[in-house]
């Protein structure tokens, strides 16, 4: 089980570097955390480390963004605004989850039934010192 602590945003590249092999091997990474925990910031760093040259942003309104990287496509989903699992299904999320392309999912608890059997689950917690704790969930 992985547990990593970032005391500042400057430590995020090292956190992403340690999580990247999990994303590359399992293809779908689910990020659990409260609003403002740093989910989108982590995705930005992952895209950067994968050699993507696109500016990343939260796909809260578009729900899905796709980034070209030197390692293939990375799909970024933010399901905060969906109300029913069927909305994600109709967007084609399940097909993308099973496509073999890398996917990072924010608010995954809303779409877990659509996930493949193997998914990297990472919780991001903010502690009292405003540090981010990244913990792999088993």
Domains of the chain by residue range: 3-137
pLDDT-derived band at 22 (thresholds 50, 70, 90) equals: very high
Please give the CATH architecture assigned to the domain spanning 3-137: 3-Layer(aba) Sandwich (3.40)
pLDDT at 34 over 60: yes
77 contacts 104 by C-beta, under 8 angstroms: yes
24 contacts 102 by C-beta, under 8 angstroms: yes
3-state secondary structure of 105: strand
* Rg, the chain, Cα only: 14
Q: What is the pLDDT of residues 58-71, one digit of tens each?
A: 555 679 999 999 99
Q: Closest Cα to residue 137, out of 41, 38, 19, 2?
A: 2
CA–CA dist 46, 13 (Å, integer): 8
3-state secondary structure of 75: strand
Answer whether 0.75 is exceeded by the pTM.
yes
**Count of C-beta atoms within a 10 Å radius of residue 36:** 10
pLDDT at 75 over 60: yes
């Amino acid at each position: 089980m992985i547990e990593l602590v970032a005391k500042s945003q400057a430590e995020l590249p090292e956190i992403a570097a340690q999580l990247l092999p999990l994303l590359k091997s399992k293809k779908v990474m689910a990020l659990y955390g409260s609003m403002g925990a740093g989910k989108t910031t982590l995705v930005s760093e992952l895209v950067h480390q994968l050699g993507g040259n696109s500016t990343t942003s939260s796909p809260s309104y578009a729900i899905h963004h796709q980034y070209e990287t030197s390692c293939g496509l990375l799909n970024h989903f933010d399901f905060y605004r969906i109300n029913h699992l069927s909305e994600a299904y109709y967007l084609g999320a399940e097909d993308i989850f099973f496509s073999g392309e890398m996917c990072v999912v924010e608010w995954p608890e809303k779409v877990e039934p659509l996930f493949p059997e193997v998914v990297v689950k990472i919780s991001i917690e903010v502690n009292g010192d405003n540090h981010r704790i990244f913990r792999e969930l088993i």
